Chain A
Amino acid sequence: MVRAVELHLGPLHAAGYNILRSGVRWLYDSGHHCRPNEIFAFCNITLEPVSGRLSGPPPFAEELELQIAFASRVGGRVSIDASTARGGYLSVRTVDVWNPDTVIATIEPDPGADDVAGDPSRLRLLALAGRRMTDLAVTHSGLLPGWHGRSRGWWCEAGETPVTLLSLGVCDAAGLVLGEDCAFAEMFEATQSAAQMVYVPDHPLAPATPLLLDQLQRTPAQFEAIAADLRGFFERSTTPPTANDMIFAGTVLSVMQRNPIRDGYNVFSANGLTRLGPADAVLLSLAVEPTAILRHRKLGHHIHIMRHHQTAAGPAFKAWLADSFEPVRRSVQDIKLDYETLIDKIARTTGGRVIILNRMSTSGYEDVSSYLPFDAPMSDTLSLVAAKEWNLMLEDIADERALDIVDVDAIAADIGGGEHLPDGIHQSGLMQKVLRREVLSILANLRQPEIGHAETPRAAAVR
């Protein structure tokens, strides 16, 4: 008979604060078979000051979503303790003090599951924090609920410091970092090394390099000038701003005044409450770079809003774009220069390293037998020729600068682009798994710089 193991919350500390939790919310019914490190439950968290009075802003003042998700270190069948659920608002509000000895479930481990790092009776904890796009974006359901301008998840054992990856890409980066439930669960399951994943969405502003450079360099006075310009346009616009205009404009300004690359992070864990510096690595998508970008005629800053997000704006905001901005064409050389400038600037300001997902450059959907019908330069017309040129441009940069390229192009070709990357950008679960391993391998090199940035084990990951 297999001996059931009680699963304890384990230690969590934040000096000067009491950690309170809600009732436990279950992602599966009792009896569910869990893989090792698979999230099966979570609760909401608040940090309440012990003294009742703070000398400064609380450490998570901006992150109104704060949760801990639970996973067992060993695989097996989980039996939940229904009494820990509490129910109703008590499963939303934080009502219980975090007690490391609390048992929330038991697990019947799989045969041979005793070969595990750490105490199998102590749950692995995934801490989650969401900074809402607006404080009105309140949702109580599920993991990291609501609309966030930045979300993050971190995990570490006692004595470990997480390595931080900041995702500033589009769907290709979001899928592999956030995972299917948008709560970093797959990343957490894929590695037991201490890490923090940070995700900044690609809306309303898409993270093309000119915008990231603007954000890195923008002063408060420059931001005020942008805000004043937008307000002034709305005031004199013959098209009265609609609710959609106001919401869209507010969101754009909210994003513009932040600088995710320079952000530092408060984390709490078994090690207590600590402050991490800016991201150790920044993940970008080559696919987001446009061949033409809007530049403000007077103030010089850039705007790039993906077409499917533009529909959320009202007529006045669109009129502001048409009136105050001009499209600027970008050659491959221009894009290369932007990347080089960004890589150098990140290295200088935060010491962070850039990782980039390249583009798929082959497709089974084409049947081109001759390129004679297409005018030169073909990369202006043919998307896959452009993708090849852009991928080569990244290789040229990597020859001279610290840049890690995740070879989406080769991985898709290896496992089957038609099945796993049907439109060239949205990957299957298997492809995300392979890409995730690739990114984690790069992060592992960051933890052990003496190993250097050797070739990542993509072939092994595919196998």
Chain B
Amino acid sequence: MIYEFRMPLIVNQMTGATLECLYAKPGDSLKMGSKLFDLSIDLGSVFAQECPPVSFFRVVMREAAWLRKLELVPGKFSQVDEEIAIFSTTPDEDIDEPATRTIRTTVAGIVHHDGMWTGSQW
């Protein structure tokens, strides 16, 4: 079966998110609990203020699947509901087939770390 991952609406006011770092690449067999990527959400464009309300999130697999397609690079901004990745239950399924459903993932707020695209603290 083919699964898709679209940029989820994590925060009500968000318009999209920026990829901070990747933990998987196309062709990888991912287990339940595997890290997929870290995202940052900047609500600065929604609330006009000088201190940008930026929060960071990690997307983790909640089921096993093969990552087949991933159109993200660190620093890329993706709109809410934009298709980000395609998964399949076996390594060689035709990914041009329509997705059966959304892949099951967990989203958790995380602490900023030095491996992120936005750089270290200094």
Contacts and interface: CB of A to CB of B under 8 A. Distances in A.
Our verdict on whether A and B bind, yes or no, reads yes
A292 B56 contact: no
Interface of A is mostly: loop
Contact of A363 (B61, B62, B109): B109
Interface in B9-39: 10-13, 32-35
Contacts of A386: 111
Nearest to B42: A423
B91 interface: no
Interface string A302-344: 0001111010000000100110010100000000000000000
A382 B53 contact: no
Given A365-B10, A369-B62, A422-B12, A308 B109 contact: no
Interface residue tally on A, bucketed by range: 35 or more
B62 to A, nearest CB: 7
B27 to A, nearest CB: 21
A91 B86 CA distance: 65
Interface of B is mostly: loop
Contacts of A376: none
Interface stretch (B43-51, B65-73, B74-82, B93-101): B43-51
B78 to A, nearest CB: 17
A381 B111 contact: yes
Contacts of B47: 426
A399 interface: no
A366 B33 contact: no
B56 A365 contact: no
Interface in A379-429: 380-384, 386, 418, 422-426
A115 interface: no
A366 B109 contact: yes
A384 B11 CA distance: 15
9 contacts: A171-B51, A365-B107, A370-B106, A373-B33, A383-B56, A422-B43, A423-B54, A425-B53, A426-B47
